[in-house]
Structure 1
Amino acid sequence: MSQSSNLSTVARPYAQAAFEVASESSQFDAWSKLLGGLSALVRDPAGAALVRHPAIAPADLAEAILEALKGADEAGSNFIRLLAERRRLVAAAQIAEQYEALRDEAEGRINVEARTAHALDDKAAAALRDSLAKRLGRSVELKVQEDEGLIGGVVLRAGDLVIDGSVKGQLDRLATAMSH
């Protein structure tokens, strides 16, 4: 099992717990901010070294993080202390990512990444977003990246769903079909 998938497995119950607390207290934004800040801190090389340092006591580590993040309420502070005590701060980025996925689902939102061969103007991006929202039955947060290697068309990714409508994808599928 890779380090990333292992951390994702470790993160799942913590993300679920954070989501439940946020849901019960209607504090989705506050928890997004807390987990996003914690994730950024742990992704920073100095922060990553700090959370992995075996000589730092979990309680001291938690207090240093709480001081750096400022503004965590009692539940958020306890959450960070728990992560420090259980040496799970290394999974903070995955916890934040999974929390946001749970929040998006609860709020009927989906993030879609679109790679296009050519830049989309605002009107085309809005039309694509509206079409996807109808098809997926959710509001769509669309992030568009230009990728000239696609030759033409678009590749859409929404979670595990991938729709490859690119010319490159069609050529690759044709080449695979011809080689069999």
Structure 2
Amino acid sequence: MAQSMTLARPYARAAFEKAKQDGSIDQWSTALLSLASYVEQDQVRDFIVHPGLSQDAQAETLLQLSGDDVRGDEITNFLSMLAQNDRLVVLPEISALFEQHKAEQEQSLDVSVTSAFELSDQEKETLASALKTKLNKNIQLTTTVDKALIGGVVIHAGDMTIDGSVRGRLQKLSETMGS
């Protein structure tokens, strides 16, 4: 995965800069998310990397699958360039990095909170407010419940993870006692 991210980084940056220059960030975002969703499917990925399929046919296949989600010559040319450079398989990483650039541009951050129990609306608001203050960004909070945490929460914000769960604390304690 690290190698895929390394390969995807310059393409994502170039796509974002072009989208920003043209004022079409949302259009590019939709297109890349759609293309990435198809490439993540095993059958599609296996088909587009088949050695008997030309690079033009690989790009055309993805364009046909994505339908109206991919519009515009610039995005089509970008897809063709990825095919020519054998980089179609890193479209999910390109899309993820593009979304990171978009979030930085918008000064927003997607935060995932996993808790042992359902959080009340007040708790969500308090948590989002505290994170907004700490990270100096607008926060889009999504929550999930995982009873295996026993208690507490695990917060994923960008590349930062805060494990305040009982399960996480017990694991740390176990590791400390084991060493």
Structure-2-length-normalised TM-score: 0.92
In the alignment, structure 1 residue 43 sits paired with structure 2 residue 40: yes
Q: Percent identity?
A: 34
Name the residue aligned to 1:79.
78
Q: CA deviation at 1:42?
A: 0.7
In structure 2, C-alpha distance between the alignment counterparts of 1:42 and 1:175, rounded to whole Å? 40
1:58-73 alignment, distance < 5 Å: 58-70=55-67, 71-73=70-72
Q: CA deviation at 1:160?
A: 2.1
Q: Deviations over 1:41-62 (max 9, x none)?
A: 1112221122111111111222
Q: CA deviation at 1:26?
A: 1.3
1:9-158 alignment, distance < 5 Å: 9-70=6-67, 71-158=70-157
In structure 2, C-alpha distance between the alignment counterparts of 1:8 and 1:65, rounded to whole Å? 21
Q: Do the aligned residues in 2 keep the contact of 1:113 with 1:158 (CA within 8 Å)?
A: yes
RMSD between superposed Cα atoms in Å = 1.5
Q: Deviations over 1:99-150 (max 9, x none)?
A: 1011111110111111111111222212211221111110111121111122
Q: Do the aligned residues in 2 keep the contact of 1:66 with 1:72 (CA within 8 Å)?
A: no
Q: CA deviation at 1:39?
A: 0.3
In structure 1, C-alpha distance between the alignment counterparts of 2:133 and 2:71, rounded to whole Å? 38
Q: Deviations over 1:21-73 (max 9, x none)?
A: 11111111100111011101111222112211111111122223223323420
**Which structure 2 residue ranges, 5 or more long, are not aligned?**
none
- Number of aligned positions between the proteins: 177
SS in 2 for 1:53: coil
In structure 1, C-alpha distance between the alignment counterparts of 2:101 and 2:46, rounded to whole Å? 29
**Which structure 1 residue ranges, 5 or more long, are not aligned?**
none
Q: Do the aligned residues in 2 keep the contact of 1:113 with 1:142 (CA within 8 Å)?
A: yes
Q: Do the aligned residues in 1 keep the contact of 2:49 with 2:58 (CA within 8 Å)?
A: no
Structure-1-length-normalised TM-score: 0.91
